[in-house]
Chain A
Amino acid sequence: MFTAALGADLDTKNAAERRVIAMHQSFTTMALEDGPAVAFDAVRALRRYRVLAEMEARGVDVLMVGRGGNPKYVAGSRGLTLLGSRAFAPTCVLVRHTRDVHMLSITDEGVPLEIPHAHLFPISWNPMNLMMRLAQVPGTTDARMIAVDGLTPLFETLLRNTFPGAELVDGDDLMRMVRRRKSHEEIAIIRTACALAEAALAGALDALEPGVSERELLGAFEHAMARNGVTTPGQEGAFCVTTHEPADPVSLAGAALRQIPGDRVVRDGDLVALHGIVLYGGYEGGVGRTWRVGDGSPSDAEVALAARGRRALDALIAQCVPGRTAVAFRRAWEVTGEPLPALPIVTGVGLGMEPPIVGVGGPGPGGEGRWTIEEGMVLAVQACVRDPGVATWFARETVAVSDMSPEVLSRFGWGPLG
């Protein structure tokens, strides 16, 4: 949808790169002699175009990013992945005037071809050396407005001293604005990521039998994930028994889901929440289900619990249409009569997890009301319901918002709980 509109603005020498993705090919990782399954070069070009347009609109001369998926969105490099949060450091720079990306790397391995060697600056443990490199990037020293996607006390001081003529503004808000709507190409990548998550979930299900521990289920998931070529999960997933879980003392209001697998051993008849998230090209794909262990038939109470959960999940999926604000998800959940669970009912999906976040962990109803649901957004919807005498039921789907009905990108069976 965006590619055609973009055509006139892209450098004509890149015309060959502007391929429309053959959607039916996107599930393969094989060498395809007729062209790659995913045209990542076109994806990068479009992302950078969007960032530059937003910089122009906001009068931002230089963008310095280093958090979350922002450097990946701007540069598109395939670096070594570390799990966990890290404080801001300006590892990726985009200059509006030159349209050039400069980034932290000692090599071009994993760095896109359009970023030349001269635009790489090596890792430094000395912040003064890093500042020197930033000042050498053409266009930074005379910038009047520099957008950063975070700050630390140290980098705030150093950036103000190195670029005294520039105003520091919020680059995280800029990036969120740009990233919120996905192109057809990005949605194709996320669909592939979902297929990979489902394949890994199937690996975990193969291991799901009485006697296996929660950690072993996580191990089976990640084993299947890596065998398929994905070495980094979006999160070390929840593979947690929910039967007869003690009530959570902190969040009494709604259903809570343990999200960190432990030593607990699965028994016959247990319900187990399975939530797997993987990254493909940096993009998140995920699926969540609750499965009953063993060959026995579920009880009426278990079937009723699952039915409550499916209704709540469907209510969320039905809200994945353009025009409303994100608070509509909260309202739709309230209509189901279920208490709000102790996890987000909606999260944004893109280069990892993104806003909007509705429910626990997000900004609350006021903030939710400031996010408009738009065509091109991809959302993870999560339902979590509890019957204190039975168990907790959890499921997640990944859904694309289109101009027609919601498109559920994830696809997996519902198992014994039907």
Chain B
Amino acid sequence: MQPLFDGTPDLARMRRERHAKLVAAMEAEGVDVLVLLGESNVRYATGAHAPAAEIGRATLQRPVAVVTADGWAPHVFSAFPEALPPELPAENCHGPLPVEFGGGGLVEAIFDALGGRPAGVVAFDEYPMPLHAELAVAGLSLGDASGVMGAAKLGKTFDELACIREAQRINDEAMNAVRPLVRPGVRQTELTAAFLRRIHELGIGANCVDPVWQVMPSRVSSGPYSATGDVVFPTATTDRILREGDVIWTDTGCNWNGYSSDHGRTWLVGRDRVPDAHQLAQYQRWRDVVGRVLEEVRPGATGGDLVRAACAGEPKRPWLPHFYLVHGTGTDPAEAPLIGTDLGADYDESIVLAPGMVMVLEPVIWEHGHAGYRAEDIVAVTDTGWVALSHDTYHPFPDD
């Protein structure tokens, strides 16, 4: 297994290479101008970002990016000058564009930044309704930005992989600070408190998701109602008090320079509690599933290959049916490749692994009457196989 990268990421090089990939994807898709509103898309295209916020605030104060196929520096409309990349020319930095408000002028502001009405296809990732209303009468040739963004984002550069690895390192270390607190009598919210404090102390950029410390029922029928008949996960944290013997599935994620980690483990509540025979067997099956999948991971393998490897010898697909066996991570915490979803077998078969793709493996072993085992491990596809981006212990389960 060859290391894919070493050292710390060069963030300016990362932005330069991402921009070049976007411009190439625009050419391939016949898109002349990209107008991006989604925070993860803007961050990918330009590096510009905003404070992490609840969705309503994030929507109202997000930056907007305009990328042109000529390869010149992108334009950014933002209320957060401290979160603009230093290399962006001053004339490309604009005040915020109020895309959520009517009254006109949005399309003209974009034209002004571009120095006139653009020719060709102008692709958007989303339309707030006031912007949609203006575009309906603007007479532009409109396109969908999702194809360009998906094509550019799929394969990560060395620097992007280094960012994911660093986000994951901080996430792992914060979870190592939380794990000793998991004892009878602690509240879930206290674990969240310790986690949030630690990631900020360690220099994370932002938290991504309300940390999950879900107490798993021993059987599906003992847990919350399930519309699919399968075990329900994840549910939002409460001030629930943890009790001796509880089986906890954790799920946390945070971002460093825009890149998301993803950390999942199964923990047991109790002082010096060790797994019982059922729990050890579930864990071993989970490791076996991951091992079989990783044996298939190399350039040219398909999502279908991974699905078949995961399912070999298992009585049913060993993951949550409303999720996936594999998802990617990047500037979105759950992005392509998505493998094992309800998009179906043909879709899985169409996914061909290539160097630089990142895969979060999250199989689930469920045993009626004995809860189950779930964890998440992250790998990147290399020229010959894969390299691990996560290195955390499986404690209290044996690492070897």
Q: If A83-B52, A125-B342, A173-B129 touch, does A251 touch B227 (CB 8 Å cutoff)?
A: no
Q: Is B224 an interface residue (CB 8 A)?
A: yes
Inter-chain contact B129/A235, CB cutoff 8 Å: no
From residue 181 to 199 of chain B, which have CB atoms closer than 8 A to chain A? 189-190, 192-194, 196-199
Q: CA–CA, A284 to B226, complex, Å?
A: 31
Q: CA–CA, A333 to B328, complex, Å?
A: 48
Inter-chain contact A153/B232, CB cutoff 8 Å: no
Inter-chain contact A106/B228, CB cutoff 8 Å: yes
Inter-chain contact B101/A260, CB cutoff 8 Å: no
Q: Is B208 an interface residue (CB 8 A)?
A: yes
Q: Mark B17-45, 1 if CB is under 8 A from A, else 0.
A: 00000000000000000000111100000
**Which residues of the partner chain B approach A129 to less than 8 Å between Cβ atoms?**
342
Kindly provide the distance from the CB of A100 to the nearest chain B CB, expressed in whole angstroms: 16
Q: Is A232 an interface residue (CB 8 A)?
A: yes
**Which residues of the partner chain B approach A236 to less than 8 Å between Cβ atoms?**
51-53, 206-207
**Which residues of the partner chain A approach B227 to less than 8 Å between Cβ atoms?**
105-107, 117, 120-122
Q: If A235-B54, A353-B53, A367-B98 touch, does A361 touch B324 (CB 8 Å cutoff)?
A: no
Q: CA–CA, A69 to B129, complex, Å?
A: 16
Q: If A84-B53, A361-B61, A363-B103 touch, does A231 touch B226 (CB 8 Å cutoff)?
A: no
Q: Is B80 an interface residue (CB 8 A)?
A: yes
Q: If A151-B132, A226-B196 touch, does A80 touch B210 (CB 8 Å cutoff)?
A: yes
Inter-chain contact B59/A85, CB cutoff 8 Å: yes
Inter-chain contact B129/A361, CB cutoff 8 Å: no
Inter-chain contact B98/A364, CB cutoff 8 Å: yes
Q: Which of A122, A231, A233, A361 contacts B60 (CB 8 A)?
A: A361
Q: Is B138 an interface residue (CB 8 A)?
A: no
Q: CA–CA, A172 to B56, complex, Å?
A: 12
Q: Which of A219, A258, A354 contacts B200 (CB 8 A)?
A: A219
From residue 204 to 225 of chain B, which have CB atoms closer than 8 A to chain A? 206-212, 224-225
Query: Which of chain A's residues has its CB closest to B237's CB?
Result: A231
From residue 316 to 337 of chain B, which have CB atoms closer than 8 A to chain A? 322-324, 333
Q: CA–CA, A251 to B95, complex, Å?
A: 8
**Which residues of the partner chain B approach A362 to less than 8 Å between Cβ atoms?**
98, 101
Kindly provide the distance from the CB of A240 to the nearest chain B CB, expressed in whole angstroms: 9
Inter-chain contact A170/B127, CB cutoff 8 Å: no
From residue 167 to 205 of chain A, which have CB atoms closer than 8 A to chain B? 170-173
From residue 256 to 282 of chain A, which have CB atoms closer than 8 A to chain B? 256, 258-261, 263, 277, 279
**Which residues of the partner chain B approach A347 to less than 8 Å between Cβ atoms?**
60
**Which residues of the partner chain B approach A87 to less than 8 Å between Cβ atoms?**
37-38, 125-126
Q: Is B239 an interface residue (CB 8 A)?
A: yes
- Inter-chain contact total with CB atoms closer than 8 Å: 268
**Which residues of the partner chain A approach B142 to less than 8 Å between Cβ atoms?**
153
**Which residues of the partner chain A approach B196 to less than 8 Å between Cβ atoms?**
219, 222-223, 225-226, 231
**Which residues of the partner chain B approach A227 to less than 8 Å between Cβ atoms?**
189-190, 193
Q: Is B90 an interface residue (CB 8 A)?
A: yes
Q: CA–CA, A237 to B193, complex, Å?
A: 15
From residue 342 to 367 of chain A, which have CB atoms closer than 8 A to chain B? 342-343, 347, 351-355, 357, 360-364, 366-367
Q: If A235-B51, A235-B54, A352-B54 touch, does A229 touch B189 (CB 8 Å cutoff)?
A: yes
Kindly provide the distance from the CB of A407 to the nearest chain B CB, expressed in whole angstroms: 23
Q: If A108-B225, A149-B129, A353-B61 touch, does A81 touch B200 (CB 8 Å cutoff)?
A: no
Q: Mark B386-397, 1 if CB is under 8 A from A, else 0.
A: 000000000000
Inter-chain contact A81/B54, CB cutoff 8 Å: yes
Q: CA–CA, A234 to B59, complex, Å?
A: 12
Q: List 12 A-B contacts (CB under 8 A).
A: A80-B235, A83-B54, A85-B55, A124-B342, A126-B341, A153-B124, A154-B146, A222-B193, A233-B54, A236-B206, A250-B95, A352-B57
Give me the interface of B with A, judged by CB distance under 8 Å: 37-40, 51-62, 79-84, 90, 93, 95-96, 98, 100-103, 123-130, 132-133, 142-146, 189-190, 192-194, 196-201, 203, 206-212, 224-228, 232, 234-237, 239, 322-324, 333, 338, 341-344
Other contacts beyond A109-B224, A124-B342, A153-B146: 20, CB < 8 A: A107-B225, A107-B226, A109-B235, A123-B323, A150-B129, A172-B129, A173-B102, A219-B200, A223-B193, A224-B193, A226-B189, A231-B211, A234-B53, A249-B81, A250-B84, A256-B81, A260-B82, A263-B203, A355-B100, A360-B79
Give me the interface of A with B, judged by CB distance under 8 Å: 29, 67-69, 78-88, 105-110, 117, 120-126, 129, 148-154, 156, 170-173, 215-216, 218-220, 222-227, 229-238, 248-251, 256, 258-261, 263, 277, 279, 284, 342-343, 347, 351-355, 357, 360-364, 366-367, 370
Q: Across the A-B interface, give the 8 residue pairs with the lowest CB-CB distance, nearest first.
A: A352-B56, A219-B200, A226-B193, A68-B56, A153-B144, A353-B57, A109-B224, A363-B101
